[in-house]
Every structure is written in C-alpha cells, then in structure tokens.
Structure 1
Amino acid sequence: MLPLALCSIIAVAIIIERFFFFKRIGKAAVAEEVLELVNYGCINDALTLTKKSSLPLAKVLAAGITHQLDAAKAMESAGITECSVMKRGLSVLDTIVTLSPLLGLLGTIIGMINSFQIMALVGTGQPHAVTGGVAEALIATATGITVAVIALIPYNYFVARVERETEVIEHYATRLEMALTTQSQE
C-alpha cells in the first residue's frame, strides 16, 4: 500500500501542476496580434510582444522573428523545446497508470499468501481468520485500480491538449513564416 500511496501523491501533484500549466497557455490571441504586426511591417513591435509572453506559442513565434533568414528551422527548434515542456510529467503519469494496478495485484497476491499461511497455522475451522486476510488483500487491488483510473482521465486529457497546442503552434508558425516571406519580398 505504501508504493500505491506514493504513486497517488505523485499523480495528484503532476495533475495539479499540468492543470494550471495548460490553463495558463490557453490563449492564442497574442499570436493573432503578432501576425497582424508582422503583416503591417512592425516586426520589432511583434518581437517585443512575443518577448513579453511566456506562452509556448509566443516563444516559437519569437524564434521565427528573431531568426528571419531561417525562420522555419528556428521555429521548428523552438517548437520541439516547447513540446517537451508541455509533455513534462506525462511519462511519469503514464507509468503510474500502468504500474498502480500491477502494484495492487502484487499486494493482493502477498495478502493471499499471508491468508493461506494463517489457514495452515489455524486450520480451516476459523473462516474469519482467512476471510479477513482475503478482504484485506483485495483492498490493494481496489486501491491500485482506483489510482490508475483517477490518473488515466487527466493523462488522456493532457495528451490531447499537447496535440492540440502542437497543432496551434504549427498553424501560427506557418502563418508567420508566410508573413515574414511576404515582408522580405516587399
């Protein structure tokens, strides 16, 4: 039960941290404003606006504006970095989802072994001694499955959110690249 308690504490900590992280990055209004500034030729103002924001999308756009000669590569590099920031902790959460039911089953097996040892010592004449051990053993399985289910739903949400944010970053990076190309031709 101790490893399951540790898994649940770690899972809750990651879930809370990622929830606030994704709540903070949910706005793409800065990107529209940056693109508008670039389209009007106010590239320095666009860069200043991206530097003020800590959003992953803004950081990718800032890389493109800063390195206009090879904006695509700069934004790709920044995008990879920002995607890894968005995925932080998700592999641990995935491991907890997979590991918790297995730890619960291990606890049940150990509990059943203890119940059979009690039965061997006391005999089958006292069923309460055996059934109490079996009930205690099954608590570990129930706890492991509960931890996994509670962590699985946020994990799937966060993975979907990373994919959605990645698509938004790609969309705006492509639009910025086109706007910078248009500006350099004019």
Structure 2
Amino acid sequence: MMIFLHDASLYLLYFALGLAVFLAIERTIFYTHANRQIKSLLQALNTKSALPEFKSGDVGEVVAHAFVNGLQPSASQKVADDVAEQAFIRVQHQLNQHLWVLDTIVTAAPLLGLLGTILGIFDTFTALAKSGISDPQGVSAGIGTALLATAIGIGTALICLIVYNAFLAKVERLGDETKLALLQMSYQNT
C-alpha cells in the first residue's frame, strides 16, 4: 500500500511538472501576443493614426474599447478615469490568469516530494523489519528511490518558481504599459 502511495506522489509530481510546462507555454504565447497589441496601440497613439482592430477579449481590444467608449473628448474626466480603471482591471485579470496554479505548484511540489520520501523510507523499513538486514544494497536502493521523490519535488518547485517570478515581472511590465496607453488616450482627448 505504501509503495502505491509513494508512486502516486511521484505521478502527481510528474503531472504538476507537465501542467507547469503547459502553462508556461500558454502564458508565454499570451504575453507575447498582449505585448504586441499594447505596443501597436502605443504606436498608433504616438503617430495619431487609427487604432488597430483586435479580436474580442484580447488585451488590445479591452484597451481600445475603453478609448472608444469613454476616453473621448466629450467624456468628463471622471468618466474617463472610471473607464480607464475598469479597462486596467480587466487587463490585469487577463494577465494574472492561471498564475495561481504555478504558485500552488511551487508550494505543493516539495511537500509532495517529502511525502513520497517518507512513504518510500517507510516501505524500506517495513521490508527491513520483515527480512532483516540481509541485503544492505537493497536498503540503500530503497532509500535512494525514496529520496528521488524529494529531488523531483524540489526540482519542480525551483523550475516553477523561476517561471512564476519571470511571469510576475512580465505582468508588471505589461500592466505598466497598459496604464501608459490608457493615460496617453486620456490625455490626448482632454
């Protein structure tokens, strides 16, 4: 039974690592796309050309929608501020989407690895109690297998921590660029 639980903790760690890789790819594509949209909006604002069109739900569409629906010269400053704030909150929500999963993996992976190690060592000592210390190499191999879970857990957490922190920096930068675009839109129309 303990061997099953030890193996289950390893499978959970492999699943968490796979999920983290999937999220890293998805968020990288999303952030690259959002960055291009925000840059094209800023370029359109700086050159006073027409705003580019975006698909519904895109980061660029949220900001452009704010411009069309509230940051016009006829809008009061209060309306413009409210529309800009609403757009910024919507963009921040999109930028932070799914990052909680990486944060959870960072926290849970070492604990899952430790659980796998404890269960693996428990199996090793149970086998020792039944058969005695007749095979020291078998005991060493059992403990080594148990420690593998900790190594995978810590490795998974480290990888996810680096990716998570890189994404947080990207979210902050994209958030600042979004604020800049919204402010430029607001000031161009006052």
Give the TM bin, normalised by the shorter chain. 0.7 to 0.9
Aligned alpha-carbon RMSD (Å): 1.7
TM-score normalised by L of structure 2? 0.83
- Helix, strand or coil at the partner of 2:134: coil
The TM-score normalised by the length of structure 1 is 0.84
What residue in structure 1 maps to residue 127 of structure 2?
118
CA deviations over 1:14-72 (Å, ceiling 9, x no partner): 001011111222231332313543xxxxxxx74xx24x135524522431332232122
User: Structure 1 unaligned runs (5+)?
Assistant: 38-44, 182-186
Which whole-Å CA distance do the structure 1 matches of 2:189 and 2:140 have between them?
73
Tell whether the 8 Å contact from 1:119 to 1:129 is kept in structure 2 after alignment: no
Match of 2:96 in 1: 87
- The match for 1:33 among 20, 44, 66 is 44
Any conservation in 2 of the 1:115–1:133 contact (CA below 8 Å)?
A: yes
Letter in 2 for 1:30: L
Paired residues for 1:48-87 under 5 Å: 49-50=51-52, 52-54=53-55, 56-67=59-70, 68=72, 69=75, 70-87=79-96
Cα separation, 2, equivalents of 1:81 and 1:178: 21
- 1:9 counterpart residue number: 18
Question: Higher relative contact order by CA 8 Å / sep ≥ 6: 1 or 2?
Answer: 2
- How far did residue 130 of structure 1 move? 1.4
Using the TM superposition, give the Cα deviation of residue 100 of structure 1 relative to its aligned residue in structure 2, in angstroms. Answer: 0.6
Structure 2 unpaired stretches of 5+: 1-9
Matched, 1:152 2:161: yes
Aligned-partner Cα distance in 2 for 1:16–1:91: 15
Aligned residue runs from structure 1 range 134-145, under 5 A: 134-145=143-154
CA drift of 1:179 comes to 1.1
Q: State the distance in 2 between where 1:31 and 1:122 align.
A: 73
Q: Deviations over 1:98-121 (max 9, x none)?
A: 111110010000001111111111
Stretches of 4+ moved more than 4 A in 1?
A: none
